[in-house]
Structure 1
Amino acid sequence: MVCSQKKHIPVIQLLQIVKGCEAVRRKYKRRKQKRTITGLVIITLVAMGVLCVGVFAGPLSIADSLNIESDSNDVLEGASRVVKIRDGAAINDTMLVPIKAYFETYFDAMADLKTADIASLFSDPASENAGINQSAMDYLINLRLDQSNDLRMTNYECGLTISKISNNGGEVEVVLTEDHTVNFAFIPDVDSSSSGIEHTFYLKKAGNGYVITEHYKDEDSFAMIQEAVESTNDDPDEVVDALLSSAKDVVAELAAEKEDYNAGDAVSEEADADNEYDAEAALKYAMTWVDPEKVIRNVNKYGVYDTYGGNCNNYISQCLFAGGIPMDDDGDVDTQWKWYGEDVDLDETKSGRSPAWTGVEEFYTYADENTGYGLAAIVDDNVFSGSAGDILQYGEDGEWLHSVIITDVIEDKNGNMVDYLINSNTTDRINYPASAYGYSDLRVIKIMGWNES
């Protein structure tokens, strides 16, 4: 949605991001909005089209508690960051050249947390879309620089699976899915993975090759910035400045909260439950239903909501259920948590689903207000008092947008809390640092167990 005369309203007030995992998520594909491309040629490659290669310290694994040492300023020396093109006979090699350049530029910038001129890769570097791409990268770099953890990458490995090529005369649409595994500088022995990030490139002929006309990315911070630009008609740089100004305050508040926790000044709430939560079983499920290279879903037992706002809260609800938290069909809309089928059903019966199973805000409300049968949880405690198996929620400017499950707590050599590792759906992530996300707001839902009455 583009709103035309709203520059006088602060951009933060105008951010309209899809709320939670209940609404239909908007697809940022301008060609689908403006015209239909005819003569589609769809190509699925078994092998990946593009590969960015890095070197890793070891296999995907985490210790029960990770004791990290102080970061070195020279941590990136000798890091291997090479972009290679695999044999992509089904796609013209000249089409891969600008795509390769885009990912090489982006990942090198994110690895060093030093901005690069990615807009110059576009046919019109001054276009709004080129500006959004530049600003989205700059926003994430600056947000990560504001964090106390060293979020540079020592190494990375990125794979792109090309799923569709559509040719309409002089313009080509290339749709591909990104997966990547990276080592962040403050936890270099941990492989942090993401998969299922969809990209759409539009290319046109330029001399003997191709050049990017537009690029869209279906991931949190990119989508957030594009939505803000389209809602306000503001310059992308102005949007990012406003977002970063707000985020800087939030990051500072969270840093103070972590300092209080490590100093022992935080007072945590207590809650009893009739039955314990099996966090180990929840984490086993959480690791089973994510994959570092492809999107996997438990379609035999549950619905899938990636195209309806996101699968994030559906995933964490499944994890909690695997950890022994029973479905709850008792009460009103705010105190039911169940999935027996696709359709929303608020009858106090074992049928349908409740909004709290799939919705971010709705799950928080259930965790906060449920006092009878079912989940016993603590909300609004110190953000850094969580444990493996607890839930984190991310937001921006008061809108809570994303739920993840904590897989481990990272501590330094003195036993101080440094960060969480998390798993998520949409985007699918494995052992990813909580501080590396593109949203700044954060809250914890501590799972205590469940009550029988």
Structure 2
Amino acid sequence: MCEELRQEIERRLQSLVDGKVSDEEKLLRKQQQLESRGSKILKAKAFGKILSNEGEWTRYLVHFKYLIKQDSYIYLEEEVEERAARIENQKLIEDKETKLPLVFLGEEKGVADFPEVLEERRAFHYDRLKAVQYAERWWNSYNPAYRKFNVDCTNYISQCLHAGGAPMTGYPDRSRGWWMTSNNWSYSWTVAHAFRWFLSSSKSGIRAQEVSEPKMLQPGDVICYDFQGDGRFDHSTIVTAKDRRDMPLVNAHTTNSRMRYWSYEDSTAYTPGIQYKFFQIKDDSS
């Protein structure tokens, strides 16, 4: 990591720890969110890795770690951003988070075929602990048994639900059900908007009940995000814990995140028009 980027990252982190953010909208929203929750960052660290140099632009990954205290509760929030910086004459001119289109990244070694796609198991018990354990295990890496996408949020959430026992259904119709095989997958498995509508409409296999408040969610439940408020859902997360005010903390992919506050006000994708859908996952014992 070059010195100019290292200094800029350290400046950002220190401004959050000191509660004196003033010049970056995303960080300012994070600071305001922390204050509204009665929370404070005790320590912050970052680790960077250069991905490539493309002309005047340097692409890099930065892994942020925030030790957060809320009342007597202390937890670690983590986030990995892919960013691009423009440096001229050893001076940082521009630094921004990159946004990537949905792209399948090609063949993965050892991708599994899932016989339950054909079996269409109807009765199942949703094991929330296993879903959360999977979310924690793979929040910043990729299970080689599955395909990988550079916009991977819904693929990751689908894997978490499947790890919790949710059966795949609807194969081989890509527009129906929720499934993945070694060489194909349904839209609902990988696309946030299709996943949101599947959760609302499914009558067999994995099912969900929409609720009105995030406090009603438990670990293993799901939140869907429409960042622009235009009716098109862009993102999916899984609840992995609750804070001291009983609000969800979530894990996600694409911008890989762990124990992030559910509202995503600290995201560059956030807009004042953001809309959420809160889903309680149901099973045959519900």
TM-score by structure 2 length? 0.78
1:378 is aligned to 2:209: yes
Q: Is the 8 A contact 1:391 1:444 kept in 2?
A: yes
Question: Equivalent residue of 1:202, what SS?
Answer: strand
Question: Equivalent residue of 1:361, what SS?
Answer: helix
How far residue 150 of structure 1 moved from its aligned partner, in angstroms, is: 3.4
Which residue identity lines up with residue 259 of structure 2 in the other structure?
N
Residue equivalent to 2:7:
101
1:158 is aligned to 2:46: yes
Question: Equivalent residue of 1:190, what SS?
Answer: strand
Residue equivalent to 1:304:
148
- Does the C-alpha gap of structure 1 residues 219 and 384 become closer, same or farther in structure 2, counting only changes over 3 Å? farther
How far residue 202 of structure 1 moved from its aligned partner, in angstroms, is: 1.7
Supply the distance in 2 between the matched residues of 1:218 and 1:112 (Cα, whole angstroms). Answer: 27
Supply the distance in 1 between the matched residues of 2:174 and 2:248 (Cα, whole angstroms). Answer: 31
Alignment of 1:33-432 (within 5 A): 49=1, 96-116=2-22, 134=23, 137-142=24-29, 144-145=31-32, 148-165=36-53, 172-186=56-70, 189-195=74-80, 197-205=81-89, 210-218=90-98, 274-291=123-140, 296-299=141-144, 301-306=145-150, 310-329=151-170, 335-342=176-183, 352-371=184-203, 373-398=204-229, 399-412=232-245, 417=246, 419-432=247-260
How far residue 396 of structure 1 moved from its aligned partner, in angstroms, is: 2.1
How far residue 297 of structure 1 moved from its aligned partner, in angstroms, is: 0.8
Pair member with larger Rg: 1
Structure ranking higher in strand proportion: 2
Where relative contact order (Cα < 8 A, 6+ residues apart) is larger, the structure is 1
Structure ranking higher in helix proportion: 1
Q: Is the 8 A contact 2:171 2:179 kept in 1?
A: no
How far residue 177 of structure 1 moved from its aligned partner, in angstroms, is: 0.9
Q: Which runs of 5+ in 2 are unaligned?
A: 102-121
Supply the distance in 2 between the matched residues of 1:381 and 1:178 (Cα, whole angstroms). Answer: 35
Q: Is the 8 A contact 1:160 1:178 kept in 2?
A: yes
How far residue 383 of structure 1 moved from its aligned partner, in angstroms, is: 2.6
Q: Which runs of 5+ in 1 are unaligned?
A: 1-48, 50-95, 117-133, 224-272, 343-351
CA RMSD of aligned residues (A): 2.8
How far residue 330 of structure 1 moved from its aligned partner, in angstroms, is: 6.0
Identity among equivalent positions (%) equals: 20
- Does the C-alpha gap of structure 1 residues 384 and 211 become closer, same or farther in structure 2, counting only changes over 3 Å? same
Q: Is the 8 A contact 1:378 1:446 kept in 2?
A: yes
Q: Is the 8 A contact 2:82 2:255 kept in 1?
A: no
- Does the C-alpha gap of structure 1 residues 376 and 368 become closer, same or farther in structure 2, counting only changes over 3 Å? same
Q: Is the 8 A contact 2:209 2:281 kept in 1?
A: yes
Question: Equivalent residue of 2:4, what SS?
Answer: helix
Q: Is the 8 A contact 1:163 1:175 kept in 2?
A: yes
Which residue identity lines up with residue 114 of structure 1 in the other structure?
K
How far residue 333 of structure 1 moved from its aligned partner, in angstroms, is: 5.9
Alignment partner of 2:278 out of 444, 447, 451:
444
Q: Is the 8 A contact 2:214 2:248 kept in 1?
A: no
Q: Is the 8 A contact 2:192 2:234 kept in 1?
A: yes
- Does the C-alpha gap of structure 1 residues 330 and 103 become closer, same or farther in structure 2, counting only changes over 3 Å? closer
Supply the distance in 1 between the matched residues of 2:32 and 2:221 (Cα, whole angstroms). Answer: 26
Supply the distance in 2 between the matched residues of 1:286 and 1:146 (Cα, whole angstroms). Answer: 24
Supply the distance in 2 between the matched residues of 1:164 and 1:335 (Cα, whole angstroms). Answer: 39
Question: Equivalent residue of 2:219, what SS?
Answer: coil
How far residue 340 of structure 1 moved from its aligned partner, in angstroms, is: 0.8
